Chain A
Amino acid sequence: GESVGLHLPTLSVQEGDNSIINCAYSNSASDYFIWYKQESGKGPQFIIDIRSNMDKRQGQRVTVLLNKTVKHLSLQIAATQPGDSAVYFCAEKKGNNDMRFGAGTRLTVKP
């Protein structure tokens, strides 16, 4: 079936560096994509979202890029901090349908 997945299960970066987390999706009908951050023992926390009619959206220190041609989604975190260490999930949604999550990438920030 169609699914959302991630390229890398783990990512380790130095504090201050930029981080890029990737996600591949296969449902071309999805019209909404979201990145969530999940810290250990907690529920997912919304980071940033993007609709399918956009290719880039920026937030505070974060940028999401959407490439519909290759069905690829990425999350860029600028000046990564130790507090950014967590598991990051991409998720997709089509209209009012339920949200589907990708496999997740664990980001570790080394001081």
Chain B
Amino acid sequence: GAVVSQHPSWVICKSGTSVKIECRSLDFQATTMFWYRQFPKQSLMLMATSNEGSKATYEQGVEKDKFLINHASLTLSTLTVTSAHPEDSSFYICSVPGQGSYEQYFGPGTRLTVT
């Protein structure tokens, strides 16, 4: 399956600042990547679908101006949390679809803490 990495693995930032999280597909070209958010003791919630060369598709209730997604290449998607607030503190996970329509490979996640 695809190998997916995320950087950084954890980050602490101050309220009002912006943080960029990278998701890389190391051995597989991905025209689509998914971004999930997971609060403590909760499930993964899909935030948006990142599309290479076009705009991301956001789930209902996710502010596109706050969570900026850039899918600049077939191996890299970035999620930027702008003007971060403490309530944005969460575990952010990206995933890459496999070659089959059903497969999906997840990154190790990024722990964001906003102070």
Contact = CB atoms under 8 A, between A and B. Distances in A.
Contacts of A43: 4, 6, 93, 95, 106-109
Contacts, number: 47
10 contacts: A32-B102, A34-B104, A43-B95, A43-B106, A44-B106, A95-B101, A98-B34, A98-B49, A99-B46, A104-B42
Nearest to A33: B102
B41 to A, nearest CB: 8
Chain A contact-residue range equals: 20 to 34
Given A41-B91, A96-B101, A98-B34, 12 more contacts: A34-B102, A42-B108, A42-B109, A43-B6, A43-B95, A43-B106, A44-B93, A45-B106, A51-B102, A93-B104, A101-B43, A103-B42
Interface of B: 1, 4, 6, 34, 42-46, 49, 91, 93, 95, 101-102, 104-109, 111
Interface of A: 32, 34, 36, 41-46, 49, 51, 89, 93, 95-96, 98-104
A85 to B, nearest CB: 15
B111 to A, nearest CB: 7
A103 B45 CA distance: 10
Contacts of A100: 46
